[in-house]
Structure formats: C-alpha cells, structure tokens
Chain A
Amino acid sequence: MSKCEQCAFFFPIPEKDMDFEPGKGDCVLQQEDTKGKFWLSRPVLESSAACQHHRSKR
C-alpha cells in the first residue's frame, strides 16, 4: 500500500521548526473553485496510508 512519504505532495517538516516531529510533514494540495485558486496545508505522518489525492514522486 502507498504511503504519504512517497507522495509528491508530502513535504517533511524541517528539524528546526517548532512543530517538528520525526516522520511528520506537510501535505500541500492545490484547490480551485469559482472564486479562484488556493493551496491547503495540513500535517500528516509519512507512514500514513495514501489518500485519494496521492501522486507518486517522480
């Protein structure tokens, strides 16, 4: 099963940041509606199972 760490939208949190935890990263997704584009970021663990938005890193 694919994991978040293999996803192109997964970005590990730098160690110096206040919310750093080993294996934790930002899941960043682009969305668009009638009022325009916006980008969402939420924390995920690299070991989490991939979601419907998963796109494998090249």
Chain B
Amino acid sequence: MPTTERTARLKNRCRFKHVAGGEYVDAGVKAGVERARLITESHKKNVGEANCIIRARGLENILNNITIHIQDDELIVGANTEHPDYFPMYPELSYYSTVDMVESRYCDHKDEMREIAEYWRPYTIQTKGEKYFTPEEIGVMYSATTVQPPMFVTAFSSIVPNYESVIEDGLLKRIEVVEKNIADANANMRKSPWNAPENLHYLDKLDQWKGMVIAMKAVVGWAQRHARLAKIMAENFLSEPKRKAELLEIADICRHVPAYPARGLRDAMQTKWFTYLLCHSIERYSSGYGQKEDKLLWPFFKKSVIEKSAQPMTREEAVELFECERLKVSEHGSTKGRQLREFFAGSNDLFILTLGGINPDGSDASNDCTNAILEATESIITTEPSISFRWNEKGNVETKKKVFNCIKKGFGFPSIKNDEMNTQQLVKYFNVPEEVARDWALVLCMSPGITGRRGTQKTRSEGGSDVYPAKVMEIALTNGFDEFFTNVQLGPETGNAAEFTSFDQVWNALKLQLRYAIELSLRSKDVGRVMELKHLCCPFISSIDDGCVEKGLDANELAEVANPWHNIIGGSVVVIDSMAAIKKLVFDEKKYTMGELMDALRNNWEGKEQMRIDFWNAPKFGNDDDYADSIATKYYDLVADEWKRNTTYSGTYPLPLAQSVAGYIVNGPKTAATANGRHAGEALDDGGSSPYMGCDKNGPTAVLKSVSKINASKHKGILLNQRLSTVLMNSDSGFDLWHAYMKTWHSLGIDHVQFNVISQDDMKAAQIEPEKYTDTLVRIAGYSAKFIDLARYSQDTIIARTEQDIKAG
C-alpha cells in the first residue's frame, strides 16, 4: 500500500487514462484543444519561415499560453494539457489520427477542431509522406494486416530524451552555448575573402540554432509560469502551513530548473518530468519512458538522501517522491489512433524505465536509488511505468530480491533483460564504445539504446514499426492474396500452396512475402524520416542533444549513433508451429496433402476436427523438441537475414525485435485458421519466443532450452512470457527457486523474460467480481495492465497461458 497519506490520496483520486477495446475507460477523459489551437495560430503567423523556426514559434506559443495547472497534494508539477482529465491533439502529424479523435466522443470542440484538421491537412507529414507510395501500397499499409501503418499516419513515435544535459547544464547555459555558435557562424560568414563552400552550410545551421534558442527560452518561461502558480496558490488560496511550505518549495524548484543545473533530488525529478513532457507530448508525441533512472538520479539521491548536502530529505521522502512519479505517469494522457489504442489494451501508453546492470567502469550499477525506486513500485501498485531490470552477474542480491518482490506480487514487471548480451549488441552492431553501451536503457518495451547527452534515439523512424508474421504466412499460402480479412492482394504472387510439392516451396513463399512486407515497412519509415526532418523539426529536442547543438542539425536528421530495429509482432511461434506441422504431416509423413490442408484452413477446419487435432498435436516449440526447435532456429535466422539485406536512413541494417504488446490479441481476428491447429480469429502467440498458449507441456526448463537454441544475438530482442505459480513464488523458498531459475536463464544466453504470477482462481474471480480486484495487474507483453481493464477476450488469453512450476524444472 502507499507509504504515505499523501500518496494514498493521490492514488485514490488518480485520473487514470487507460484504454480498453480502443476506448478510454474513465468517462471523464477528454481531448484537449489548446495545444492544437495554439500551434495552429502560430503556424498561420509564421508560414514562410524556415520549418525549424515555425516549429520553435509553435512550441513557444503553446508554452506561453496553454493553461497550466497544479493539483492538490502534488509534489511533481506540470502536464501536457489544459486540464488534468485531458489528452492533447497533434493536428500537424496525421490527418487521419486527428479526425479519428475529433469525431470521437472525447472531443467537445468538433467544429473548431474540424477546421484545424482541414487547415493542417496539406502540411501534415501524412500528406507529405503518402506521395511517395502507390495507392496499392497505401492500401496494404493502412490495412494493418501484414505491416503496421507508417508512422506518418499513426503519428506514433518513440524517443530517449537527453535528460542528462538538462539536469547537468541547465537551459540557460545551453542557450549561451548556442548563442555563441550563432555568433561564431555570423563572424565566419563575414571573413574576407568570401568562401561559399566553407560558409553556406551555416544558413541551415543558423536557422536550427535560432530555433533552439527560441525553444529553450520558452521552456524556461513555462517553468517560471509553474513557479508563479505555486507561489500564488500558497499566498492567496491556501491556509494549511505544510502545504503552503510545499508550494513555496515547488515555486523555488520551478524557478531554478530547468533554467539552472539541478541541486538535489527534487530538482532532478522536476527537471526530468518537464523534459519528459516536452519531448514526449508537447513538442510532438512520442511514446516511451526511456531512461536509466537509477543512474540518472543517483548523484542527486546521494546529495539529498545520503549526504543531505542539497535539498535534504529522508529516504522515506525519496520513496514517496518515486511513488508520486508513478502516479504522475499513470494520469498522463496520450493520444493515439484507434489501432494503437487497441494494441495497448489496458494501458494509456507504453512507459518503460530501466534499472540495474553495470556502470561504465564495470561495477554493479544497482544502488540505493535503484532499491528506493523498486520499493516505491512495490508499495504504490500502478501499471505504469513498467520497469526493465538489466540482469548482470555482478548485480547484488539485495536489489534482485526487490525485483523478485515486485514480480511475485503479480505486477508482471520488472521484465528482465540480459545485460551482457544487450550491451554487446550495441558494441557489435552499432559500434558504440563499451563504456557508453553500458549505460543502455530500453527505448520502448524491448529495444536497448544508449542514454546520455548525445546520440540517443530521437524518432521511431530509426527503430520501431511492425511486421505481422502470422498474416504474412497466411498470404504466403494464398498467392499473396488476403482471402480472409481484406480481399486485397497484400504481397507478391508467390504461388498457391495447394500446388506446392516440397517444404522448401512453402518456406520460399514465406521468405518472399516477409521480404516484401519488410521492405515496404522500412521504406515507409525512411520516407517518414525525411518528412520529419523537413517538416517536423523539433528544436527543443535538438537543443538538449550535444551533437545537434554542435552540428546545428535537427534531431530527426542527425543519426549520430545508429540504432535501427524493427518489430516482428505476435505470431512468430504460430508460424514456427505451423511450419513444423506442415513439414511433419504433409512432407515427412505424407498423412495429408497441401490441397487438403488449404481446404481445411479456408473452411476453418470445419468438418475436419481430427485433422485439426493432428496438426495441433504436431511438434510444438517450447518443449525442447529438436524437430520444432530447429524450425524456430531456421525461422529466426531467416528473419534476421531478411532484415540484414537492407540499409536504412542511418546507414546500416536493422535488427528484428520479436515481441507482441497486445498485437497478438488484436491481430488474431484478422488472421485465418493456421496450420498449428488454431482456429480463425483466435489469438496468436503472446510474444517473440513464448510458446503458443497451452503448448508448452514439458516444464520451464524445456521452455528455456527451446528458446536458447535461437541465436538471440542476431536480434534486437526476443520476448519471452512465462507464468509462474503463485503458491511457489510466495513460499519460503520462492526467491531461491526463482533465483536459480534466473541463473539458468542467464547461463543459456537468453535475451529476455517476464512473468505473470497470478492464479487461475483469482483471474476467474476477477471476471465475476471486478470491483474486488482493482489492484490486480497482469503482464500483457511488453507492458502490464489492470486485469479488470482488459476485454474478456484479452483476459482469456492470459488465463490460457501455461502456469509453470519451477520446482519441476
């Protein structure tokens, strides 16, 4: 339970913005219009200016004029909209996403927002990006069947802000640096004799730097507005001395940061929150909560909690502050189109912070700040932000016990990433110096990226977007045509499977369909990237990256450290199990023909139940069975090789990342019956290497052995969901058994694992009496959600997962 009366009150009144079935759960949630109104007003005044100046003026107009607010009891202040119940809109990004919101029940200003949407239509990155694709390609991408619609229409992005530079420097110092760059450029351009090749590059840079200065000054002013509001509240509206003192301290903090370097933990937390809001939801929308929080805040935790040399506080007060942070994230409203609201069932967005691992010097990076964050997580019980823990052999047992405590309570997080493997990935594939790579954090659910003052990932056109393998395999059997859902040719004509006479033909059709989906998806990302750097400059995000400041480049343009990756979402194991069944029953044993199989799949196994059972009982991945596992290995190598054929914007090839979010639920109904014995419309597998629901029958070690046969080092990440027994995890030997399991997991070189620890009985009881289970959390895949916020179909997929007894392993 919350550790203080304040956080109990804050949690009790938390304005959660979770979605279920694509709709917001809380009836009070509304679309805010002020951001859209203010950026439009500014755009009209500044048309004709360089894009980075237009964008900077837009941000300035928002920050100077948007209604700000502070709620009772808050210790961390600032929000992205004019009202605590609202989420913002971004008409400059995607016309379709804006219209979807405007025409929804959440928008109370329909006429004004329709006018704003139409004003922006020619300027949106959607309109700019669509021009480079044929109508057929647009049709394939927008159907969200084999690939995720491009970012220029979903408006979905992700970023790792350079928190360090704001916290360490303060913006006033950074303004000085940029103004010196401007002065130096102007002086160079006036040197005699005139030299065009040496000087003309300054034109674009001068615009970029001027935009950065406008943006940073506006941010300082916005923080000062919060300082004034807190002071006005203390002096004019409140009489309770303790709260008055808190508000005066908040006023002092907001007057100090982000203008100046943070002094202690309260300054650092407030700077981090302001920076988060600006980078993720005010300058533009980007998902995520990418940060190595215990590294970022540790110097300030030491000063405030341990040494008490700046903003002194007790450890209990620090835990309370981390609880407040989790509640602040919980009521943060994000704006996504319908497909993504459905993809994040039970959540309001993807928020994942990273803890643990090792320091650049190789020492254990888990510290007492790590422990305090985990304690706050355990006490406040919120689904957001999710946590990823970097499991390193050097990690101390005390911190690992706190990780275990959260997992055994059923939160579904921390999810665990293999620290050594993920560090080496950045070193090997992206040439990151090892000491820099050792500060990695997850960009979004599963993908490591660097943190720090420069070179962090700034846009999802670098890493992100999806290919949906189960649907790709479906059309690989039907000559590239989608007979089940869209009646559209979704891929190249690779033949009708009824006529295939060898397993290699099936495999080759899958490869060619995957190739088409991958290349279309990558091209849409890179076209989007160019549209972003031309039309969606982000002067504030650029201003806090040392590389952008040094080079005078927009953050979308500069790919100082390449980090391309691409999701392969839900369905990989359906493909693997289907391929294993086809190989076994059609080509090895010749029990059925491809013609018979296609007839059965087209008819959803109707009248072919014995045949379906045969395919269901064919070898399945997750049982340490080499027959199925060799196909898994071959499939994951194919996936890596197919991505490796391509070179993206940042000059190298992307690594695939097999995971799911709720895509395995959403894409199930779009996917016809499959050869693993699955009926049409049923859910897909719940993650990258999670065995299909109910198909892992040989215990947890067999699962680990199967997964370990995949060469995970060729991939950005491969998700593994496991469900563990509540009785065992809560027993006296729970930690020791789990710790032994984790050591096995680590020694097998597996990339990732996350756990659901909830009993069948509790989930079924929660379906009947949801009001009694408001704090029951479950892991979906990549994030957690309140069980009762999920649709029944989604709940049933969690119940269907095999519960592993790690004693049996």
A11 CA to B234 CA in the complex, in Å?
13
Contact present for B233 and A39 (CB under 8 Å): yes
Question: B64 on the interface (CB 8 Å rule)?
Answer: yes
Task: Give the contacts of B19-34 with A (CB-CB under 8 A).
Answer: 28
A1 CA to B15 CA in the complex, in Å?
39
Contact present for A41 and B71 (CB under 8 Å): no
Contact present for A30 and B232 (CB under 8 Å): no
Q: Which of B13, B69, B221 contacts A35 (CB 8 A)?
A: B13
Question: B436 on the interface (CB 8 Å rule)?
Answer: no
- Of B180-188, B222-230, B385-393, B680-688, which binds chain A? B222-230
Question: B65 on the interface (CB 8 Å rule)?
Answer: yes
A54 CA to B732 CA in the complex, in Å?
64
Separation in Å of the B526 CB from the closest CB of chain A?
38
Map CB proximity to B onto A15-38 as digits: 1 under 8 Å, 0 otherwise.
001110000001010100101111
Inter-chain contacts of A18 with B (CB < 8 A): 217-218, 220-221, 224
Q: From A18, A33, A43, name the one whose CB has the most chain B CB atoms within 10 angstroms.
A: A18
Task: Give the contacts of B200-253 with A (CB-CB under 8 A).
Answer: 217-218, 220-222, 224-225, 228-229, 232-233, 236-237
Known: A38-B70, A39-B237. A26 touches B220 (CB 8 A): no
Inter-chain contacts of B71 with A (CB < 8 A): 36-38
Inter-chain contacts of A40 with B (CB < 8 A): 67-69, 82-83
A26 CA to B101 CA in the complex, in Å?
30
Question: A13 on the interface (CB 8 Å rule)?
Answer: yes
Inter-chain contacts of A43 with B (CB < 8 A): 64-65
Separation in Å of the B260 CB from the closest CB of chain A?
14
Inter-chain contacts of A13 with B (CB < 8 A): 228
Instruction: Please classify how large the interface on chain A is, using the bins under 10, 10 to 19, 20 to 34, 35 or more.
Output: 10 to 19
Inter-chain contacts of B224 with A (CB < 8 A): 17-19
Question: B58 on the interface (CB 8 Å rule)?
Answer: no
Inter-chain contacts of A41 with B (CB < 8 A): 67-69, 225, 228-229, 232
Contact present for A30 and B220 (CB under 8 Å): no
Question: A42 on the interface (CB 8 Å rule)?
Answer: yes
A28 CA to B225 CA in the complex, in Å?
11
Instruction: Please classify how large the interface on chain B is, using the bins under 10, 10 to 19, 20 to 34, 35 or more.
Output: 20 to 34
Task: Give the contacts of B35-88 with A (CB-CB under 8 A).
Answer: 64-73, 82-84
A17 CA to B225 CA in the complex, in Å?
9
Separation in Å of the A50 CB from the closest CB of chain B?
18
Q: Which of A17, A30, A36 contacts B221 (CB 8 A)?
A: A17
Contact present for B232 and A19 (CB under 8 Å): no
Separation in Å of the B507 CB from the closest CB of chain A?
56
A18 CA to B9 CA in the complex, in Å?
35
A30 CA to B71 CA in the complex, in Å?
10
A11 CA to B251 CA in the complex, in Å?
15
A42, closest chain B residue (CB): B67
Inter-chain contacts of B65 with A (CB < 8 A): 42-43
Q: Which of A17, A26, A36 contacts B13 (CB 8 A)?
A: A36
Inter-chain contacts of B218 with A (CB < 8 A): 18
Contact present for A39 and B69 (CB under 8 Å): yes
A26 CA to B236 CA in the complex, in Å?
13
Known: A18-B220, A18-B224. A35 touches B70 (CB 8 A): no
Contact present for B229 and A26 (CB under 8 Å): yes
A5 CA to B211 CA in the complex, in Å?
33
Separation in Å of the A23 CB from the closest CB of chain B?
14
Separation in Å of the B694 CB from the closest CB of chain A?
42
A17 CA to B72 CA in the complex, in Å?
25
Q: From A41, A42, A43, name the one whose CB has the most chain B CB atoms within 10 angstroms.
A: A41
Inter-chain contacts of B70 with A (CB < 8 A): 38-39
A40 CA to B225 CA in the complex, in Å?
11
Separation in Å of the A58 CB from the closest CB of chain B?
12
A43 CA to B477 CA in the complex, in Å?
62
B230, closest chain A residue (CB): A39
Contact present for B232 and A38 (CB under 8 Å): no
Contact present for A36 and B72 (CB under 8 Å): yes
Inter-chain contacts of A42 with B (CB < 8 A): 65-68, 82
Map CB proximity to A onto B605-617 as digits: 1 under 8 Å, 0 otherwise.
0000000000000
Contact present for A28 and B72 (CB under 8 Å): no
A26 CA to B233 CA in the complex, in Å?
12
Inter-chain contacts of A14 with B (CB < 8 A): 228
What is the interface of chain B, defined by CB distance below 8 A to chain A? 9, 13, 15, 28, 64-73, 82-84, 217-218, 220-222, 224-225, 228-229, 232-233, 236-237
Q: Which 6 A-B pairs have the closest CB atoms?
A: A18-B221, A19-B221, A38-B71, A42-B67, A35-B13, A41-B229
What is the interface of chain A, defined by CB distance below 8 A to chain B? 11, 13-14, 17-19, 26, 28, 30, 33, 35-43
A-B contact pairs, 22 of them (CB 8 A): A11-B236, A17-B221, A17-B225, A17-B228, A18-B221, A19-B64, A19-B225, A26-B225, A26-B229, A28-B229, A35-B15, A36-B9, A37-B72, A38-B71, A39-B69, A40-B69, A40-B82, A41-B69, A41-B229, A41-B232, A42-B67, A43-B65
